[in-house]
Amino acid sequence: SAAPKRSQSLAGKRIVITAGPTHEPIDPVRYIANRSSGRQGYAIAGALARLGADVELISGPVSLETPRGVKRIDVETALEMEAAVNRTLPADVAILVAAVADWRAEASPRKIKKGETGGPPELNLTENPDILAGLATHDQRPALLIGFAAETDKVVGHAKAKLDRKGCDWIVANDVSGDVMGGTENSIHLITANGVESWEQMPKREVARRLAERIVDAIV
């Protein structure tokens, strides 16, 4: 029987996606991280692979199955994620869904003991590179560069500012003030140069499917 018309609409397109948190070690047993289940990024990877794209999923530590047809590369830290993303270039589209830790610590090679630091240890934080902003100015910048922004308040305002500051093409603004963190539903605003589209709350898989359709419309 004939395949659905859209089924291979992204054949030959290279798409890199980041998902999940990064873990920044403090010592061998402790780390700094953001909250992220990885579900939205994994759903997007799966939806794009179903449309025939060549998908590389650069994943922080999560407990999820790799979507069918997706090439997954596991990383732990922001620096590892950045290096892995850069190794996948050139790509037609990059979608940075990961909740990258903004700071890394100077990790101790041995476990820090509570008693020995005379109170809480100094973590000595360094800002991590901004992978999204780095791609925006890269000489192999993907033609379509999409960022995510998880916000609890002034969602659209903060996200618009990020679109300008980071030089990406779209921002998917995630309203995380409700119960979406770690859940299966999401409530998003799609922000582009043409304005803001607010989508009703829906399953993350449906957000992924619709976003994939928008990507087809934009690049095919």
Which positions lie near ligand CTP, rule CB under 6 A? 18, 78, 96, 98, 100, 102, 128, 130-132, 147-150, 162
Instruction: Pick the closer one to ligand CTP by CB: 9 or 78.
Output: 78
Q: Smallest distance from the beta carbon of 119 to ligand CTP, in angstroms?
A: 28
With binding defined as CB under 5 A, does residue 102 bind Ca ion? Answer: yes
Instruction: Pick the closer one to ligand CTP by CB: 9 or 42.
Output: 42
Q: Which does 78 bind (CB under 5 to 8 A by kind): ligand CTP, Ca ion, none?
A: ligand CTP
Q: 65 CB contacts (<8 Å, ≥6 apart)?
A: none
Instruction: Pick the closer one to ligand CTP by CB: 142 or 147.
Output: 147
Q: Which two three-digit tokens encode residue 73? A: 């590369």
| Touching Ca ion, residues 19-78 (CB under 5 A) | none
Q: Smallest distance from the beta carbon of 76 to Ca ion, in angstroms?
A: 17
Residue tagged 């018309």 (tokens): 5
Phi, psi dihedral angles at 151 (to 5 degrees): -130, 150
Q: Smallest distance from the beta carbon of 138 to Ca ion, in angstroms?
A: 20
Length of the chain: 220
Residue tagged 């934080």 (tokens): 125
Cα–Cα distance, 208 to 132 (Å, whole number): 20
Instruction: Pick the closer one to Ca ion by CB: 39 or 162.
Output: 162
Q: Smallest distance from the beta carbon of 174 to ligand CTP, in angstroms?
A: 9
Q: Is 54 annotated as a binding residue?
A: no
Other CB atoms within a 10 A radius of the CB of residue 78 amount to 25
Q: Which two three-digit tokens encode residue 139? A: 């000489």
Phi-psi region of 119 (alpha: psi -120 to 50; beta: other; left: phi over 0): left
Cα–Cα distance, 27 to 121 (Å, whole number): 11
Which of the residues are catalytic? 34
Q: Which two three-digit tokens encode residue 164? A: 């300008």
Q: Is 113 annotated as a binding residue?
A: no
Q: Which does 91 bind (CB under 5 to 8 A by kind): Ca ion, ligand CTP, none?
A: none
Annotated binding site: 102, 111, 129-132, 148, 162, 166
